[in-house]
Structure 1
Amino acid sequence: MNIVFVSLDTLRASRLGCYGYAKPTSPYIDRIASQGVLFERAYAADIPTEAAHTGIFTGKLGIHTGIVSHGSSLTHLPKGGSWLPELLRREGFTTAAVDNLYQLKEWFARGYRYYINSVGGQRHIDGSTVNALAFPWIREHKQEPFFLFLHYWDAHTPYLPPKEYVAPFYEQGRDPYDPANRSMDGAYNHPAYPFFKHHHYEHLGPVTDSDYIDALYDAEVRYLDDRLRELDQLLIQEGLYEDTLLVLFGDHGESLTEHGIYWDHCGLYETTVRVPVIIRWPKRIAPGKRISGLVQHVDLMPTVLEAAGLSLNPTERIDGKSLWPVIDGAQEGTQEAIYLSECAWQASRGVVTRDYKFIQTLDSGPYIRPMRELFDLRADAEENVNLADQLVEHADRFERQLAGWVEQQLAGRPDPMRAQLEVGLPFRNRIQQILQQYGLSWDAWVKYPQREIFDEAVLKHRDGAGR
């Protein structure tokens, strides 16, 4: 068999047709979903990218690996534990990746016979680049049992789709730079603006219409969909379709202005933690399956291992559970509750059940958050109404459940989230460094953030440097 394991970075489940979105973002992904199994409530228990992918490849939650943040100098993954590509390579699979996470942390290159770094001269990693690197490798190794990890970044900021992809998602004749439109004011005057000015807004020009940036995201998803169509057509052409286990997953989603988060992936809300997971294996999975129970990222590793006929050493403890009993209809999901964590822009933990979500914030970073949030997902799918002060007993019960779970999992070990908070949240630290570069105070900035103040400081600094 062959395994093609595909990370669709920053792909939000609710922005796909197969997950109920009305706009034509994903005709080919929808087709793949119809040929296999779609998990309606799959969650990224640890976000964002570094923590999510570490969990996916180890089958362990961040509270056990210690990887709960992103871009932190504190994090290190010891060698010797379970790591999916290593396990498959030892059992005779030819392992390869087209990826760039090695740029972030060294452990993401472990276990690969071939690691093809997708970083080149371009700032933005394009799906066409990933395909151009992957397709010759597939043709060369198609006679071998292989595991190929592909990492597509198209839905990640900056949103820079080809112009022809934007038209279906943005009203014809509408001006995205209309000075009368003030829908970008919240984004431009947000405390996180200094970071996103450099990493996103400067690439788009002086946009005034937030709907236009939403349209750019949709266009990126549609562009990604075409790249996946090309990948699938290659598998068919090379005779690999029937015996290839194809796994598509989002590492996290994306908030598109919801909850005061402007085109980023923080917050333990559904927009970010509910991710697409689609699995197709024609020889094993009947088409058209949809799973409504709760599953999570760490379930992917044992699922792949079982498909390959492999098992972990009995002494090796992982958090993930194989999805095959769920796929075969023996159980509804793998969990009754999923415990959520983030520690990059803000530090929060949460628990999601079939009906409710509870979030406890330890440090809100540059955002304004209540300490406790409780949402009834049955009546409030968009998580707009915080019931923590109305359903106090419910919130108290969830808080005790979450605290008990954390204590049990740590089993006396130091809490990696608390350790990170002692040195500061990584992304807030980055904003502070940017502000200091331009002679601005963090405390003053977060109290009265204004785009004009920061832009003037940048111009003064540039003028001074020019002299």
Structure 2
Amino acid sequence: MRKPNILWICTDQQRWDTLSCLGFSGAKTPNIDALAQKGVIFKNAYTQSPICTPSRSSFLTGMYPIAHQVQRNGNSHFPPHLKLVPAIFKEAGYHTGLIGKLHLSAAQNRIEMRPDDGYNEFYWSQHPNPDWPEGHDYHNWMVEKGVDPLKAYAHAHGAIYDGVDTSVHQTTWAKERAQDFMRRSKDKPWMLSINLFDPHPPFDPPKEYMDRVDPDSIPDPIFAKSDIEHQKRFVGVDQQAKVAVDPTIPYHPAAAAKSEGQSHDTPPASYDAKRIRAAYFAMIALIDDMVGELMATLDETGQRQDTLVIFMSDHGEMLGDHGLLYKGCRFYEGLVHVPLIISHPGRFEEGAKSQALVELVDLPSTLLEAAGLPAPCQNQGKSLLPLLTGKSDLDSHKPYVLSEFFDALGFPGGRGSRGSMYFDGRYKLNVYHDAGEGELFDLENDPQECNDHWTDPGYQALKLDLMQKHFAAMMVVSGAGPRRIADF
């Protein structure tokens, strides 16, 4: 049997509750829904970090952040001793390609320094704004089409605005590069990573997609009046939004205009929550159209049955929940609960919805086992293949999931916060280690995470039990270093 092609689509900062196939109002994702009908959707998938680089380092190595130690965005380089999944596939004879972000090391005013990533073809684009040196493939593509990137993005300022036309959008670039790669590679096994920037802020869908979205159809942010005071407890814990803002307060453009320095990393202090959420869902609608066209290309080239497809995101987005925008050292569902769909018609279950707790760190062992390749000794994930093939209970995988933050964001006033999460499917324990604070939520009775039991006298025995389990779980995955080759 031919080894499967791998089409690995990873969005950036997409929440789990953005797919219409899971019943979320306002979402327009018919093509992603169709992909789920041809595979398994994991309803309880969690990221190992709410920040890009540590999360990507985990799902590309099969290691938890505390083990791989790539904890920061903006680090100087990626450690050369760590083995990346695409490099393993390349060594096994696969033709490999990357379109979009790699984001394993710093990419500020430079093309990212490549480790031994294993990609034969490398079409790199960190984010769409034209502030990069030569080698930014999205900009090269725009120039090929006769478009000046500087003029196209001259209006691109702030946290929300009308994006460039669909015909020259970064998602369209990724689609076209992917279609070309798949057509050229059909005679040999291939692995293609498409790492989109959207729906990461700024919120800038093309106007035609923004016009398709009814802001009133999208649920309001999860917010309780107590959130403002609650977030004051964590004022010293790193978060891109410095303070919580009541998203129910009527929006005043004049106040928003005074919100200085807002960008894709710095959210505005005052904002129109409905408009931002509509723009976010519009960006996802554009991604959904891309997914549909890529699946059509697989069908046209006769490769659909030979291709394992993953659709996922590296982490989520607060989107106004609990008064916060963007991301940081927090572990609310909007940040750590991510979409995950895996499809391979004829080989995997189809139209199945798994309730199992799973983690992105499980993906390397899943892909390698599906391709009949051994996992490296560094691997800490647990393969999902038995669930995908119907050989084990679709709703049972792990007793808990973990997520971490350690000095992940570099910005003025940051303290290098360290936090971690332990979630057993009902109780979620968040510990902000350097701040002496934490949170304890019962998601069975409080799925919106509005009632924190950290200091509740009636929950102290449970809190102690979860703290012990959390500590033990983190120690188990902390890493043992090089492979043992002797008994003494």
Give the match's secondary structure for 2:182: helix
**Residue 210 of structure 1: how far off its partner (Å):** 1.7
Alignment of 1:179-194 (within 5 A): 182-183=249-250
Of 11, 33, 45, which residue of structure 2 is paired with 1:30? 33
Q: In the comparison of the two structures, how many residue pairs are matched?
A: 389
Structure 1 position 361 matched with structure 2 position 428: no
Q: CA RMSD in A?
A: 2.7
Higher helix share: 1
Alignment of 1:52-451 (within 5 A): 52-73=55-76, 76-101=77-102, 104=107, 106-107=113-114, 110-118=117-125, 119=136, 120-121=138-139, 122=149, 126-167=170-211, 168-171=213-216, 182-183=249-250, 196-197=262-263, 199=265, 208-264=271-327, 266-313=329-376, 316-327=377-388, 328-331=390-393, 332-343=395-406, 344-345=408-409, 346-363=417-434, 371-390=437-456, 391-410=459-478
User: Distance in 1 between the 2:477 and 2:260 partners?
Assistant: 37
User: Distance in 1 between the 2:277 and 2:69 partners?
Assistant: 34
Of 7, 19, 24, which residue of structure 2 is paired with 1:21? 24
CA separation of 1:63 and 1:199: change in aligned 2, threshold 3 A: closer
What do the CA deviations read for 1:15-37 (whole angstroms, capped 9, x no partner)?
11123312242111111111110
Give the match's secondary structure for 2:452: coil
What do the CA deviations read for 1:411-460 (whole angstroms, capped 9, x no partner)?
799xxxxxxxxxxxxxxxxxxxxxxxxxxxxxxxxxxxxxxxxxxxxxxx
Question: Contact between 1:64 and 1:409, CA under 8 Å: does it hold in 2?
Answer: yes
Question: Which residue identity does 2:298 align to in structure 1?
Answer: L
User: Distance in 2 between the 1:194 and 1:81 partners?
Assistant: 40
User: Distance in 1 between the 2:360 and 2:479 partners?
Assistant: 23
Equivalent residue for 1:452? none
Give the match's secondary structure for 1:33: helix
Give the match's secondary structure for 1:247: strand
CA separation of 1:78 and 1:400: change in aligned 2, threshold 3 A: same
What do the CA deviations read for 1:168-198 (whole angstroms, capped 9, x no partner)?
23259xxxxxxxx94458xx79xxx655347
Question: Contact between 1:360 and 1:373, CA under 8 Å: does it hold in 2?
Answer: yes
Equivalent residue for 1:47? 50
What do the CA deviations read for 1:215-266 (whole angstroms, capped 9, x no partner)?
1111111111111111111111111111100011111011111123213465
User: Distance in 2 between the 1:334 and 1:108 partners?
Assistant: 32
Question: Contact between 1:245 and 1:281, CA under 8 Å: does it hold in 2?
Answer: yes
User: Distance in 1 between the 2:476 and 2:303 partners?
Assistant: 45
Give the match's secondary structure for 2:122: strand
User: Distance in 1 between the 2:348 and 2:171 partners?
Assistant: 27
Question: Which residue identity does 1:79 align to in structure 2?
Answer: P
CA separation of 1:72 and 1:184: change in aligned 2, threshold 3 A: farther
Structure 1 gaps, min length 5: 173-180, 365-369, 414-467
Question: Contact between 1:169 and 1:218, CA under 8 Å: does it hold in 2?
Answer: no
Question: Contact between 2:419 and 2:431, CA under 8 Å: does it hold in 1?
Answer: yes
Question: Contact between 1:14 and 1:21, CA under 8 Å: does it hold in 2?
Answer: yes
Question: Which residue identity does 1:95 align to in structure 2?
Answer: T
- Give the TM-score normalised by the residue count of structure 1: 0.77
Question: Contact between 2:311 and 2:340, CA under 8 Å: does it hold in 1?
Answer: yes
User: Distance in 1 between the 2:391 and 2:18 partners?
Assistant: 27
CA separation of 1:310 and 1:164: change in aligned 2, threshold 3 A: same
Give the match's secondary structure for 1:12: coil
Question: Which residue identity does 1:58 align to in structure 2?
Answer: T
Question: Which residue identity does 1:3 align to in structure 2?
Answer: I
What do the CA deviations read for 1:345-395 (whole angstroms, capped 9, x no partner)?
54311101121100011357xxxxx81200101111111110122211111
User: Distance in 1 between the 2:298 and 2:480 partners?
Assistant: 48
Equivalent residue for 1:9? 12
Question: Contact between 1:159 and 1:200, CA under 8 Å: does it hold in 2?
Answer: no
User: Distance in 2 between the 1:198 and 1:319 partners?
Assistant: 33
The runs of at least 4 aligned residues of structure 1 exceeding 6 Å deviation read: none
Give the match's secondary structure for 1:263: coil
Instruction: Name which of structure 1's ranges 249-258 and 101-110 shifts more when overlaid on structure 2.
Output: 101-110
CA separation of 1:257 and 1:299: change in aligned 2, threshold 3 A: same
Question: Which residue identity does 1:353 align to in structure 2?
Answer: D
What do the CA deviations read for 1:127-180 (whole angstroms, capped 9, x no partner)?
1011122221221111111011111122111111111222323259xxxxxxxx
Structure 2 gaps, min length 5: 126-135, 140-148, 154-162, 164-168, 218-247, 410-416, 482-488
User: Distance in 2 between the 1:7 and 1:159 partners?
Assistant: 18
**Residue 199 of structure 1: how far off its partner (Å):** 4.9
CA separation of 1:88 and 1:363: change in aligned 2, threshold 3 A: same
What do the CA deviations read for 1:23-53 (whole angstroms, capped 9, x no partner)?
2421111111111100010000223111111
Question: Which residue identity does 2:323 align to in structure 1?
Answer: G
**Residue 405 of structure 1: how far off its partner (Å):** 3.2
Question: Contact between 1:96 and 1:149, CA under 8 Å: does it hold in 2?
Answer: yes
What do the CA deviations read for 1:191-217 (whole angstroms, capped 9, x no partner)?
xx6553475769xxx985221111111
